[in-house]
Structure 1
C-alpha cells in the first residue's frame, strides 16, 4: 500500500481525514445479535448481547443518518449487524431512511435467514441493494461452520432477493483452509447458474476468540489461481477504471458476462482509497473496521445537542483516522470488539 502523508487542510462540512480521503459510505450496525454462531466470528455459546437501553432507537438512527446525509456528504448507507433482520421494524426504518433528502443509496448485509419472507417488503420500503453471506453449498459444512442447519433458508433468501428485484444480488464468501476452500470453483459455478455475483473475501482478524492466523488464511492470489485454473478470468479495463473505492477487484469469466469479485483486505489492502465510516449499534463512531478507539455520538445525542454539534463531533472523529489498518505491522492488535459488535 502506498504511504499516505497528512494533508494540511480538510474540507469543511464533509468527513475528510488528514490524508485527503473523504468518507461518503456509512456502515450502520443495527444490532449485535445474530441467529448463527459462525466459528470464525463467535464461540458456540454466543456472546453477551448489548442491553437494549444502550442501542440507538429508530428515531436516533434516523436523526444521525439525516445529519450525515444533509450536512456531511454521506451518500450510501449499508445496514449491518450482527444480523440486521433481527432488528424490530426494519422495514419501517428502511422506509424512514429512504425518505431522507438527499436520499442515500440503501444497502443491507445479511446472512439471509428469514429473508425469503421479507425481501419484497424491504424492496418496497426502499432497499436498493443486498449482500448475502454464504460460505458453503454443502449442508454439513454449513452446519459445522455456523453451528446451525439453515442452508436451505439462506438459499431461499437468495432466490427471494432476486425475485424482489434487489439485483445484482451479491454473495459474500470467506474461504477457510481445510474447511470450505475446496468449494471455490463450485461456488462460482453455482453463482453463475443463479445469476448472482460472488465476492470472495479474505478472512480477517475479527473473531471473538482472537484465533485468526495469517498463515492459514486463503489469500486472494490463491483464490484467483484456483478459479482461473477451471474458468479463466479476465479483468476488463473498464471495470478496473470504474472500481474507485470499491473493495472488490472484479474479474469476468472468459467467454461469459458473469463476474466474480475478490476482496484482498489483508494481502492487498485498499486503505488508501477508503471512503467508509462506521456507526455501531450503540452509537459509537469507528473510523476503521480495525480501530481500537471509538468516538461516542450516543451520549451527545441523548444530552440534547443540536445537529451542528453532532456533525462537529463526527468531523473531528474522522480527522483522526489512521493511514491504514496495520495488519502487517508487528504491533498490530485485533480490535476489542468482535465483528458482530462492530458491523460488517
Structure 2
C-alpha cells in the first residue's frame, strides 16, 4: 500500500464544456451554489491545519473547470506558499489557459494536465458538446502558451472513445516526438455517460500500446507526477506516453490519493460514496481542528480496506455524481 499523500481538490463543479464522457447532453446537473462551495479561506485552513499535518504534501486543483473559479490565481499563490507543499498541479480543459498561464506560473503552479481528446476541430467540438464557433483553437493556444511559459511536465489527457477519436491515436502519440509533451491515453469508463459507454464500448491500454508500438516502437520511460499511468516513449522522442488503465487493470493497491469535492466532501476513492466526510459542515459548525484531523486520519486508516474490497470485487461501490462533480 502506497503512502497516501496526494489530494485532488475540486475548486468548482461547473464547466464551460459538456464533454460526452463526463456529462452527456441529456443530463440535468444540479450545480452547487457559490455559498455551498468551500471558500478560499476554508480551503487554505483545511490544507494547512488538517491535511498537511496528517501527511498530505501534494495537491492537484481540478473542477469541473478550475479556471472558472473566481480568484483562482490568488488561491494558487496561497497554497504554493505553504512551506510543506511539495507539489502543486492543475487539470484544466485549457480554454482559458492562454490568458492565465503566466499568472498561474508566477503564482507557483508548475504542472498542468490539459484535456485534448482530438486534433480535429470538428471531432473535438462534438466531444465537448459545442454547437457554435469552434473551441479547438483556444485550447490549442492554451497548450502552446503553457509550454512556452515553462510548465513542466505538460501533460495532454486523451480519453479514447471507440468510433469517435480512436482513429487519431497515432497522430496524438506523435505529438511527443518533437516537443517535450506527455500524452496520456485514458481508458473510457462509465462515469457520466453510461449510454455512450454501453453503445461504444472501450479500448484497452494494451491495444493502444500495441498499435503505437507497431508504428513507432516503444520503450519504458518515466515522467514526474502522482498518477497511476504506465509510462513509455517512442524511441528518441522528447516526450512520453502514459496509459491509464482503470478499466483493464486494477491499480487500487497503488492508489495514493483522496479527493475533496468543491462542497467539502472528502472521499477516499473516485467511485466510492459510502465512505466520505463532510468537512465543510464540520468546519462551519465550529468543530475543532484536531477533531477534523482525527476524522481524516480515521478515513486514511480505512483506505487499505476500501482498496482491498475494490480489488476483490472489481467495483468500488455506488456513485451518484458525474465526473465533473467529483473532480476526477
Shared fold by TM > 0.5? yes
Deviations 1:65-95 (A, max 9, x none): 1124541111110000000000000000001
Q: For the structure 1 residues 162 and 261, does the alpha-carbon distance in structure 2 shift closer, same or farther, using more than 3 Å as the test?
A: same
Aligned residue pairs total: 321
* TM-score after normalising by structure 1: 0.87
Q: For the structure 1 residues 274 and 51, does the alpha-carbon distance in structure 2 shift closer, same or farther, using more than 3 Å as the test?
A: same
Return the offset for 1:332.
6.4
**Preserved CA contact (<8 Å) 2:170 2:212:** yes
Return the offset for 1:40.
1.0
Of the candidates 75, 97, 104, which is equivalent to residue 57 of structure 2?
75
Deviations 1:187-223 (A, max 9, x none): 1113433431101111122115565349811111111
Rounded to whole Å, the distance in 2 between the matches of 1:261 and 1:330 is 23
Structure 1: gaps of 5 or more residues: 1-19
Return the offset for 1:264.
1.0
Say whether 1:190 aligns with 2:171.
Answer: no
Query: Once structures 1 and 2 are overlaid, which stretch shifts more, 316-325 or 174-183?
Result: 316-325
1:338: which partner in 2? 322
Rounded to whole Å, the distance in 2 between the matches of 1:222 and 1:24 is 32
Q: For the structure 1 residues 78 and 331, does the alpha-carbon distance in structure 2 shift closer, same or farther, using more than 3 Å as the test?
A: closer
Query: Once structures 1 and 2 are overlaid, which stretch shifts more, 86-95 or 226-235?
Result: 226-235
Rounded to whole Å, the distance in 1 between the matches of 2:315 and 2:109 is 40
Rounded to whole Å, the distance in 1 between the matches of 2:215 and 2:310 is 34
Rounded to whole Å, the distance in 2 between the matches of 1:305 and 1:179 is 49
**Preserved CA contact (<8 Å) 2:23 2:193:** yes
Rounded to whole Å, the distance in 2 between the matches of 1:43 and 1:34 is 13
1:311: which partner in 2? 293
1:269: which partner in 2? 250
1:11: which partner in 2? none
Rounded to whole Å, the distance in 2 between the matches of 1:325 and 1:26 is 21
Q: For the structure 1 residues 134 and 245, does the alpha-carbon distance in structure 2 shift closer, same or farther, using more than 3 Å as the test?
A: closer
2:119: which partner in 1? 137
SS at 2:9 equivalent: strand
Q: For the structure 1 residues 217 and 329, does the alpha-carbon distance in structure 2 shift closer, same or farther, using more than 3 Å as the test?
A: farther
User: 5 Å matches for 1:247-262?
Assistant: 247-262=228-243
* TM-score after normalising by structure 2: 0.91
Query: Once structures 1 and 2 are overlaid, which stretch shifts more, 96-105 or 130-139?
Result: 96-105
SS at 2:231 equivalent: strand
Return the offset for 1:43.
2.5
Of the candidates 6, 10, 21, which is equivalent to residue 40 of structure 1?
21
**Preserved CA contact (<8 Å) 1:285 1:317:** no
SS at 1:27 equivalent: strand
Q: How large is the Cα RMSD of the aligned pairs?
A: 2.3
Rounded to whole Å, the distance in 2 between the matches of 1:309 and 1:330 is 33
2:164: which partner in 1? 179
Q: For the structure 1 residues 119 and 100, does the alpha-carbon distance in structure 2 shift closer, same or farther, using more than 3 Å as the test?
A: same
**Preserved CA contact (<8 Å) 2:147 2:154:** yes
Say whether 1:228 aligns with 2:213.
Answer: yes
SS at 2:85 equivalent: coil
Rounded to whole Å, the distance in 2 between the matches of 1:330 and 1:70 is 31
SS at 2:45 equivalent: helix
Return the offset for 1:53.
1.7
